[in-house]
Structure 1
Amino acid sequence: MKFNTKTIHAGQKPEETSGSVMPPVFFTSTYAQEAPNKHKGHEYARVTNPTRTALENLLSGLEDARCTCAFASGCAAMDALLKMLRPGDHVVATNDLYGGSYRLFKEVFEPFGISFSFVDMRSVDNVGKAITPDTRMLWVETPTNPLLKIADIAGIAGLGKHHGAYTVVDNTFASPALQQPLNQGADAVVHSTTKYLGGHSDLIGGAVSTSNDEIYENLTFQTKTTGAVPGPMDCYLALRGIKTLSLRVERSCQNARALADYLRNHPMTGDVRYPGHSDHPGHEIAAKQMSDFGGMVSFSLKSDDQESAEKFMSNTSVFTLAESLGGVESLISHPASMTHASIPKNIREEAGLKDSLIRLSVGIEDIDDLIADLDSAFDSL
């Protein structure tokens, strides 16, 4: 089954009792049992819900995974995975990391005796040098947020297998429409389903897909025990959003490519980060492991100062100044003060994230309107 068809049919079938083509929204907290410990697949909604199960089956099909667990947010999905670790365990992660991930690592798990090393994962050798006998997990973002660095999933996963460490890939920026990390050797894939999968900025959710039995058993234990599960309505919205994932991502990629070229040629633009440019440091790897280069573009102004960047971002009208990404609408954001504010300034700058950086999540609007909007913002400077 081709991917475009999977977004509609993978793991799906008409609902058994009514024949409903779309999975119904099952608003229930509990289920009738025929006898004690004898039930029809569901017993309590924290553990399972039919709408959630439909979403999990669909995500498994998209990521070529045996199983998926859905969570109440991307952070909840990460939290569940990290709870596999024990005091003394070590994690190697990219140094260009989503701020929420960094906060979870450093402020929640590090005090419990988990240690973290942050390295530039554009080099597989950097990852190898950071691995210790205590390393249990390699945490990969590719493309990274917000600098769009590219990591070699297969190369890093090979290191993980050699050293007995799980390779986890945050696939939120690419989405399974562009990249399936499990097919490249990763052990688990994390998503914020809030972003491209939901696609309409109307839900919060997360998921982990895997074909590893130990990881899945841990995830289902966390689902039952800590209960950070999505409600049935959010699951339904994600199911509905995924139906158009291929079309939305295709248009977003087209628009991002055109905007990246426009920005590169604008006299007031400085550095433009977009993996689709042939001189992007990770272009060749991205071309190998992704089917397209995504809908995210980051850039700085030639003046390279925060004040000008903030003025620019405050003078767009089609681009909305807001956090998040992956929706049908185009968003503009200031990572240093928004999505990555929890990372100390010196650490951000060491990774290359300056206070002047601007991040675009390119939506599916008409490209002429998007360019005209950025033209107007440039004229305001």
Structure 2
Amino acid sequence: MENLKTKVIHGGISTDPTTGAVSVPIYQTSTYQQNALGQPKTYEYSRSGNPTRHALERLIADLEAGVQGFAFGSGLAGIHAVLSLFAAGDHVILADDVYGGTFRLVDKVLSRAGITYDLVDLSDLDVLKNAFKKETKAVYFETPSNPLLKVLDIQEISKIAKAHGALTLVDNTFATPYLQRPLTLGADVVLHSATKYLGGHSDVVAGLVTTNSQDLAEQIGFLQNAIGGVLGPQDSWLVQRGIKTLALRMEAHSKNASKIAEFLENSHEVAKVYYPGLASQTGHEIAQKQMAAFGGMLSFELKNEQAVKTFVESLQYFTLAESLGGVESLVEVPAVMTHASIPKNIREQIGIKDGLIRLSVGIEDISDLLSDLTQALEKAK
């Protein structure tokens, strides 16, 4: 069963082995009866394992071609567990425009434990090669990235990392396994904020991780249990339900976003558009090579930066809110919202201008979305 449109519905554990229910039940329990002293059944305590969570973990492993999956209480909890593979003195190469929360975790929390990092433009492979140190243990990046939609070559970066004895860690939140599978391109670990497209309905906060290495799986499993930021059974069930429509939603998101990107690129009020599906976008050829479609995220800059506030507050169908990946369209300004934790000088250096606008394009009727953008651009002249 290779077709992902089928696998999102039938992958993992799609029925309950006890009752035959076609929807895995919510096992709302904290502990489990043991066969005898020191002889637990399959489960013993829900931090260590829960049937509902286990079904979701099996599913993300199936979708990403991993050997084992792990579900966490948030995307950042998953990132924290994976980066806890490293110790004081270890060095991580971090893509220069990662999500602000990821940057904050590395810069303000993990640095206290002695983990060091460098922000690197991973689109320049020569720059990447020169960034390695003898202490470098991993390269961490998103592709497409948040919020500049930078497309990075997973296969080439993975080859370079392996040549230096380092792991390749890829945040696949924007693309999802329906559009891109990093493990098949050489990555070692894939991470998701399942709050976004995997859940798909803006009603759950969750993180998912998977790997194609049994050794890494054992290490991440230990860290998941030891740190304890696991996903609860109700939220695990919600994410599984969301994934069942992932294929349909990602196709709709991608179709709408492509049309909006073309519309904005041709608008007199717009200075620049960032979207992997545009032929003018740097990295477009890489996106064509490693993605099945170009996703529902895009960013752009108005020619009149002073009109950003008027524009975002004039929109009707695009809700002004953080997060992304739900069925509804959202708009945000990264410099004052999702990426505010990154110092202004670093934001400007990597291209996250104060006037950058990010859209999470939903699955509404495209004519309504285009009309909404048109009237907001008119007001923002």
Q: Report TM bin, short chain.
A: over 0.9
SS in 2 for 1:270: strand
Counterpart position of 1:75: 76
1:219 alignment counterpart: 220
**2:107 match:** 106
SS at match of 1:91: strand
Q: Name the SS of the counterpart of 1:176 in structure 2.
A: helix
Instruction: Tell me the residue number matched to 1:270.
Output: 271
Shift of 1:111: 1.9
1:365 aligns with 2:364: yes
Q: For residue 63 of structure 2, what is the aligned residue in structure 1?
A: 62
Aligned to 2:260: 259
- The answer (yes or no) to whether the contact 2:67–2:217 under 8 Å persists in 1 is no
Q: Which amino acid aligns with 1:153?
A: I
User: Shift in Å at residue 152 of structure 1?
Assistant: 0.6
User: Do 1:123 and 1:151's aligned partners in 2 also have CA atoms closer than 8 Å?
Assistant: no
Unaligned segments of structure 1, at least 5 residues: none
1-structure distance, mates of 2:257, 2:303:
20
**Alpha-carbon distance between aligned partners in 1 of 2:338 and 2:99, rounded to the nearest angstrom:** 7
**2:270–2:301: 8 Å Cα contact kept in structure 1?**
yes
Query: How big is each residue's C-alpha offset from its partner over 1:64-121, in whole Å with a ceiling of 9 and x where there is no partner?
Result: 1111111000000000011111111000011011000000000001122111111111
Tell me the percent identity: 50
What's the counterpart of residue 163 of structure 2?
162
Alpha-carbon deviation of 1:380? 1.6
Deviation at 1:333, TM superposition (A): 0.4
Partner-residue secondary structure (3-state), 1:93: strand
**Which residue identity is paired with 2:345?**
N
AA matched with 2:109: V
> Which residue pairs with 2:145 in the alignment?
144
2: CA distance, partners of 1:177 / 1:242: 10
The letter for the 2-side match of 1:32 is: Q
2:12, 2:59 within 8 Å by CA — same for their partners in 1? yes
For residues 62 and 179 of structure 2, the distance between their equivalents in structure 1, rounded to whole angstroms, comes to 14
Instruction: Please give the TM-score of this superposition, normalised by the length of structure 1.
Output: 0.98
Residue 379 (structure 1) aligns with: 378
The count of residues paired between Structure 1 and Structure 2 equals 379
Query: Which stretch has the larger CA shift, 106-115 or 33-42?
Result: 33-42
Any conservation in 2 of the 1:122–1:152 contact (CA below 8 Å)? Answer: yes
Report the counterpart of residue 205 of structure 2 in structure 1.
204
User: What is the DSSP-based 3-state SS (H/G/I as helix, E as strand, rest coil) of the residue aligned with 1:177?
Assistant: helix
Q: Which moved more, 1:214-223 or 1:259-268?
A: 214-223
- The CA deviation at 1:145 is 0.3
Distance 2:14 2:150 in 1: 39
Q: CA deviation at 1:221?
A: 1.1
1:36 aligns with 2:16: no
AA aligned opposite 1:329? E
Cα root mean square deviation, aligned? 0.8
The residue that corresponds to 1:84 in the other structure is: 85
TM-score between the two structures when normalised by the length of structure 2: 0.98
Kept in 1: contact 2:67–2:214 (CA 8 A): no
Output the CA distance in 2 between the equivalents of 1:224 and 1:301.
Answer: 46
Corresponding position: 1:173 with 2:174: yes
- 3-state SS of 1:29 partner: coil
Q: What 5-or-longer segments of structure 2 have no aligned partner?
A: none
Distance in 2 between the 1:143 and 1:378 partners?
26
Deviations 1:292-336 (A, max 9, x none): 111111001112x2x311110011110000000111000000000
For the structure 1 residues 375 and 13, does the alpha-carbon distance in structure 2 shift closer, same or farther, using more than 3 Å as the test?
closer
CA distance in 2, matches of 1:12, 1:111: 40
**CA separation in 2, counterparts of 1:309 and 1:278?**
26
Name 1:238's counterpart in structure 2.
239
* Residues 292-371 of structure 1 mapped to structure 2, 5 A cutoff: 292-303=293-304, 305=305, 307-371=306-370
Runs of 4+ with >4 A deviation = none
Q: Could you tell me how far 1:213 is from its partner in structure 2? A: 2.4
Residues 154, 369 of structure 1: alpha-carbon distance in 2 compared, 3 angstrom cutoff? same
